[in-house]
Amino acid sequence: MQSAKAIPQQGERIQKVLARGGIGSRREIEGWITEGRIKLNGKTAHLGDCLKPGDHIHVNGRPIVWEKYAEQPTRVLVYHKPVGEVVSRKDPQNRPTVFTRLPKLQVGRWINVGRLDINTSGLLLFTNNGELANRLMHPSSVIDREYAVRVLGDVKDEVIERLKAGIELEDGPAKFNDVQFYGGEGANKWYHVTVSEGRNRMVRRLWEAVQITVSRLMRIRYGPIILPEGVKVQSHYEMTPKELDKLLEFVGLPKQTPIFKPDEADKQPWKKRF
C-alpha cells in the first residue's frame, strides 16, 4: 500500500479532513458546519470550504490541529464486549464503559461502530476513521449483523416464519433476514439470527413480540468481520493491513497506510477471517 498523501495545496474539504482524524463522520461534521459550530480562520465555515496549509479551524470553540490528520492511518479494533459494560465515553451512573479498555490514541479518537446494550455481549468495532464508521453504520449500506441468541422454551416453525416475514414494532416494521437453530438441551435453545439494521434492542424486541424470552444475546459478526475465537472477553484485536484493505474495499474506500510492519502483521492471531 502507498502512504496517505498530505493535504494538497488547493485544500481538502473540512469534513473529509476531520473525519479522517476521528472527530466525527462526514455527515456529522457537515451538520456542524450547517449549524455554524465550525469556524475557519475566525469566520463561520460553510459547506464546500477547504482546509489549506496555514489555515486555522475551531470546532465548538476548540482549536483543532488538523494538519496532523493528513498522514493519519486508519485503524480498526475488534473488541469483545462483556455484559455489564456500556457503550459510552462517560456514564452518569458510573458504570464501566467499553472505552476504558481500549489503547490510547495520540491523534484523534476511537469511534464505536454501532452500539450494544448493557446486557448484550460480543463483537463491537472501533475505528479512528469517521468516514469508515459512517459507511459501516449508515442504513443505506444494509450490512448484516449476526447474533447468537439463547431463548427459553421451544420455538414453533410458524413463529420463526413470522420473525422472518416481519413484525410491526413501536418504531416500525422489523424482521430477521435469517434464523437458524443451533441446538440446546432442556429449556434453553440457541439460535443464530441475522438483521441488517442497527435499531435499539431490535433483536430482543423481535423475540419479545412473539412472547419468547431471551436469556442471552451475543453479537458474533458485523458484515464480513467475525468475532475471533481467540479474543477473550474485555480484550481486543487490531486488524492487520491485509484485513483492513478488505474492509475498506467492502465499504468502497481506498486503501490506507499500513499500521503494522510486515513481520508484526504475521504475528497477529486472526487468520483468514474474510
Catalytic residues: 117
Amino acid, single-letter form, for residue 104: K
- Number of helices (H), then strands (E), belonging to the chain: the values are 7, 17
Do the Cβ atoms of 85 and 39 come closer than 8 Å?
Answer: no
Widest Cα–Cα separation across the chain: 68
Q: Taking Cα atoms as reference points, which of 145, 124, 143 lies closest to residue 192? A: 145
- According to DSSP, residue 240 is labeled P
Distance CA 241, CA 259 (A): 7
The strand ranges marked E within the chain are 12-13, 38-40, 43-44, 50-51, 57-59, 62-64, 76-81, 111-113, 121-127, 145-152, 167-169, 172-174, 178-181, 188-195, 213-222, 225-226, 236-238
> Count of CB atoms within 10 A of residue 156's CB?
10
Cα 263 from chain centre: 27
| Cell numbers describing residue 243 | 484485513
- According to DSSP, residue 86 is labeled B
Distance CA 51, CA 56 (A): 8
